[in-house]
Amino acid sequence: METEKKVNKSLDVTEDESEAVSRLVVPVIPTGGVSFYDAFVVRGIRVNRVEPGLVVCTLKVPPRFTDRGGNLANGAIANLVDVLGFCTAYVPGHPMNVSVDISISYMSTAKLHVSKAFPLQSNTHFPTHPL
């Protein structure tokens, strides 16, 4: 019962959060245009360098990627890992695949206003395509 109370409390939305969501503008996407996902998640990622098996990019974390504590949200991290990790394994001419199961272990909170560069490299142990 205690766990259920904790879960319910964590899912409660404050009035400020509710108002912030109600102010979101979701544009109508024409057929063949940029999707909501592209506009919401991928927008703002700048690709700095691309080589076979390597993608280096930068992103200024927007408020929509932060949690209640003002840190980079775990869900945003997982999504970025999924999207950008795929970029290292993409092979032109092959269909784009999506993750159906992803597991991430977080070592600590991702603090904002801290700059560190970590290039994404393809996994040399379990490649999905030759790179």
Tens digit of each residue's pLDDT (9 = 90 or more) over 50-94: 887 777 888 888 888 888 888 888 888 888 888 877 777 777 777
In a domain, 10, yes or no: no
Per the structure, how many domains does the chain have?
Answer: 1
Given a cut of 60, whether residue 103 has pLDDT beyond it is: yes
pTM beyond cutoff 0.75: no
Given a cut of 80, whether residue 46 has pLDDT beyond it is: yes
Give residue 77's domain range: 41-123
Given a cut of 70, whether residue 122 has pLDDT beyond it is: no
46-51 sheet: strands from edge to edge: 46-51, 54-58, 120-121
In a domain, 114, yes or no: yes
CA distance 113 to 71: 9
Q: What is the CATH number of the domain that holds 54?
A: 3.10.129.10
**pLDDT number for residue 108:** 79
